[in-house]
Structure 1
Amino acid sequence: MTSPDERKSFWERHEFKFYRYGHVYALIYGQVVIDYVPQRALKRGFKVLLITYGHLFSMLLIVVLPGYFCYHFRTLTDTLDRRLQLLFYVSFANTAIKYATVIVTYVANTVHFEAINQRCTMQRTHLEFEFQNAPQEPKRPFEFFMYFKFCLINLMMMIQVCGIFAQYGEGGKGSVSQVRVHFAIYAFVLWNYTENMADYCYWINGSVLKYYRQFNLQLGSLRDEMDGLRPGGMLLHHCCELSDRLEELRRRCREIHDLQRESFRMHQFQLIGLMLSTLINNLTNFYTLFHMLAKQSLEEVSYPVVVGSVYATGFYIDTYIVTLTNEHIKLELEAVALTMRRFAEPREMDERLTREIEHLSLELLNYQPPMLCGLLHLDRRLVYLIAVTAFSYFITLVQFDLYLRKKS
């Protein structure tokens, strides 16, 4: 016979190792608040030390290093090739958006430190316990996308590190080359700083989607039991039991909705920054690839072009699956509402059961997908809009590039 551990999936056996890895990696960047599943409380002195390190590291990124790069701005963009200089300006704008997102992330993490712990991390842990005995089918898509996101982020990290080493190897020993390598490392650190929080938001939303799917399956099971009610002496007793379970499900649904709403409320400015960063990053990736291809024939595609293409594709997929999760949450809420409409009315009117059905139906009507800063829905339409906008600006940059090529 197989043991219980052998019946568990790979994710279930190693889930806490993934979470511990994410927590340690976030600590390196001073983000103590990112603790996916707290397994043991940190000692007070050690926690104060980590928080102090986080503030100092953030101040280094936000205050000290920007002053250094602003001082060397001419060095960063100095070149005789005007087309290459345009590429430098675009890359600098990309890093500036990342920098602004880091500031917003730091402020939000500082202001909402306790709220993120209590209303997101601990609330998610509570819901995980609540749905421990729920249907397990929705866990498989959740696990797959966690694997996929983990592999994708690490692949993009390796590509950026390889790019930094390639830039270091191709450059000379002059101050220009050193400053540009330092700037590439700085941009990489900024990306990791914001990506840590983005991964945390994705994990919360992925968990919300999983809970809604489990909730819908539980609701469907309860509806089947309700359809099977037959007139008899035990009918009122069964209706009372179903009312208790429906009330419990209504409470869980409210907690799931509150988890998503609180997560969006506390991270909405960071997510707006990440969307802007995605827009500029797509533009930068498009133009960087164009700039490299313009200097060679299509028959001799170089290694940097291939690496740049992989990174650009990975970055877009990363943004797409984040918004796809929110799209699926919206669809799952519609499926829950459809399940509620299929509830049969008891053959003998039970006032409490009818009232619970009405209350849950009314609550679901008020569960609208949260908006970023009251402006945008984080769904696939936003990703398409970002792609189209980035491509439009890319065409403008190509026109500038062609103009500069004629002048040179």
Structure 2
Amino acid sequence: MDKPTFWERHEAKFYTFGHFYANIYGQVMIDYMPHEPLKGPLKVLLLIYSHAFSLTLIVVVPLYFGYNYRLLMAGVDSRMQLVLYVGFANTLIKYITCVLTYMANTFHFKGINNGSTMKRAHLEHDIVESYRGPRWPKRRFEIFMYYKFTLINTMMIIQVCGIFASAGHVPDNDTDAKASSRLRQQFAIYSFILWNYTEHMADYFFWVNSSVLKYLRLLQQQLQQVLRQVRHVQRTRHRGIFMVNCGRLCDRLALLRQRFIEIHQLYVESFRIHQLQLLGLTLTTLINNLTNFFTIFNLVSSHSLANASYPVLISAVYALTYYLDTYIVTLVNEQIKQEMENLSLVIGQFSGYPSLQPPSLDQELEQFSLQILQHKPPMLCGLLYLDRRIIYLIAVTAFSYFITLVQFDMYLANTQRHSR
């Protein structure tokens, strides 16, 4: 028996930490590894805290920044004003995504907590724990988890560094500038909390989809085993146990087909619940890349590279990690689509044995093949497919808007020069 990996030894600890950290941000329904239901009083307290925290984030704090909007947007020149407006638009998209996340969590609480989580736990028990075969599907799942964990923590560290960098140096005798700088730092903290709030649900969606990908790969390996058994049965068809073996294969295929249905239901249901949030996160990635590009342009054009090297580095790394974070989500969906095609090819290999008996075995194969063919990649609100094409679209659109902002910045600079 293979030695357990680091992930297998500490998987429960990772999930417990994720559940605890999600509770801090009011995401009570995110439970990666449900064992025992929460006790009544504790569950009520967590739900009250969840709604109180979410409504404070969505209603109370925006009123505070709205009241101080002029001080928040006060800039020394037109370029600084434009940078502030772009940053404000970035936070506004995060805010809208946060509202959508809260609504989805409220309306789909049972669907997330009792639906997706419990279905995933059921499949984990039925497929993974009983699986005997190559371990590479599990290893790739672990690599995805490590990669996502590293990206998220890197983004958190970079944003914290960005919050400190946003403070800047303000003269002690300039009270208005000090108040404006302090308010912008508070706004950066608020933007960071909004990102954390929405990112928890995005991480949960990524975890469910990565699990779906793992189950499809394990299912394909099990179908390959059944195919090898069919070849063996064909070689022994003249013996007395031929019909018995065919009956066992039929039962095995029926079980695998049922598991495929459950995997597909988990995937479709998870996508349906989170599609609005995913659309918001896609827009957030677009605006965030635009914000970071323009911030880098502003720093390089208005300061010497030696003075602006730290903020430029922070903005560049943050833009890259945010882009990679969205890319890995689309990559998992792309690979799920590929695994569906691979399953169809494996089912097609059974057609090389047209004389299989009993007829129920052929019927199982036909139904299995039909269900795979009926699968269509889901779309985000009927607008976009969540695959690598959306990454190219984000990159091209962000760069196009960046060029527009640069042109607008040059226009403002020329206008000010002529007005003098």
2:100 is matched with 104
Residue 11 of structure 2 aligns with an amino acid whose one-letter code is: E
**Displacement of 1:227:** 1.7
**Residues 263, 19 of structure 1: CA spacing in aligned structure 2 closer, same or farther, 3 A cutoff?**
same
Deviations 1:184-239 (A, max 9, x none): 11000000000000000000000000000000110111111112223222111111
On the 8 A contact 2:356/2:362 being kept in 1, the answer is no
What residue number does 2:218 align with? Answer: 214
Whole-Å Cα distance in 2 between the matches of residues 188 and 281 of structure 1? Answer: 12
- Structure 2 match to 1:271: 278
1:360 matched to 2:357? The reply is no
Q: Is the 8 A contact 1:293 1:301 kept in 2?
A: yes
Task: Report the equivalent of 2:48.
Answer: 52
Equivalenced residues, count: 404
For 1:25, the equivalent position in structure 2 comes to: 21
Give the match for residue 80 of structure 1: 76
| 1:193 and 2:197 matched | yes
Q: Deviations over 1:117-142 (max 9, x none)?
A: 12200000000001112233201111
Retained in 1: the 8 A contact 2:246–2:357? no
- How far apart, CA to CA, are the structure 1 residues paired with 2:195 and 2:307? 31
Output the CA distance in 1 between the equivalents of 2:103 and 2:43: 19
Which residue does 1:327 correspond to in 2? 334
Q: Secondary structure at the match of 1:294?
A: helix
Partner of 1:259: 266
**Matched residue, 2:186:** 182
TM superposition shift of 1:319: 0.4
Bigger Cα displacement from structure 2, 249-258 vs 74-83: 74-83
Query: Alpha-carbon deviations, 1:321-374, whole Å to 9, x = none?
Result: 000000000001000001111113253542010110001001111111111112
1:127 aligns with 2:123: yes
- Following TM superposition, by how much is the alpha carbon of 1:43 offset from its aligned partner in structure 2, in angstroms? 1.4
Alpha-carbon RMSD: 1.5
What amino acid maps onto 2:94 in structure 1?
A: K
Alignment of 1:297-316 (within 5 A): 297=304, 302-316=309-323
Q: Can you list the C-alpha shifts for 1:214-265, whole angstroms capped at 9, x where unaligned?
A: 0011011111111222322211111100000000000000000000000011
The answer to whether the 8 Å contact 1:226/1:346 transfers is no
Where structure 2 has 5 or more consecutive residues not aligned to the other structure, the ranges are none
- The offset of 1:40, in angstroms, is 3.0
Please report the TM-score for the alignment, with normalisation by the length of structure 2.
0.93
Q: Partner amino acid for 1:133?
A: S
1:42 aligns with one of 38, 63, 67: 38
Q: Is the 8 A contact 2:161 2:314 kept in 1?
A: no
Specify the alignment match of 1:287 in structure 2.
294
1:387 equivalent in alignment to 2:395: yes
Deviation at 1:300, TM superposition (A): 6.7
Following the alignment from structure 2 to structure 1, what is the Cα–Cα distance between the partners of residues 409 and 200? 35
Q: Read off the aligned partner of 1:318 and give its amino acid letter.
A: D
Equivalent of residue 223 in structure 1, options 222, 227, 248: 227
Deviation, 1:41, is: 2.4
Go from structure 1 to structure 2 and tell me whether the alpha carbon gap of 1:98 and 1:267 turns closer, same or farther (over 3 Å shift).
same
**Structure 1 residue 39, shift from structure 2 partner:** 3.1
Give the whole-Å Cα distance in 2 for the aligned partners of 1:348 and 1:309: 60
Which letter does structure 1 place at the counterpart of 2:207? W
Question: Structure 1 length as normaliser, TM-score?
Answer: 0.96
Are the counterparts in 2 of residues 123 and 259 from structure 1 also a CA contact under 8 Å?
yes
Cα distance in 2, alignment partners of residues 151 and 394 from structure 1: 28
Q: What amino acid is aligned across from residue 165 of structure 2 in structure 1?
A: A
Contact 1:120–1:263, Cα closer than 8 Å, also in 2: yes
Q: Aligned letter for 2:318?
A: Y
Tell me whether 1:369 sits opposite 2:393 in the alignment: no
1:262-317 deviation per Cα after TM superposition (whole angstroms, max 9, x unaligned): 00111111111111111111111111111111123557761111111111100000
1:20 Cα deviation from its structure 2 partner: 1.0
- DSSP-derived class of the 1:34 partner: coil
Amino acid at match of 1:341: G
Distance 1:25 1:211 in 2: 27
Q: Which residue of 2 aligns with 1:149?
A: 148
Matches of 1:314 and 1:62, distance apart in 2: 26
SS of match in other structure, 2:136: coil
Residues in 2 aligned to 1:47 and 1:160: alpha-carbon distance in whole angstroms:
32
Q: Which runs of 5+ in 1 are unaligned?
A: none
SS at match of 2:286: helix
**Separation in structure 2 between the aligned mates of residue 29 and residue 187 of structure 1, nearest angstrom:** 14
Of 11, 18, 22, the match for 2:7: 11
Mapped to 1, the partners of 2:75 and 2:381 lie a distance apart of 40
- Determine if contact 1:269/1:372 at 8 Å carries over to the other structure: yes
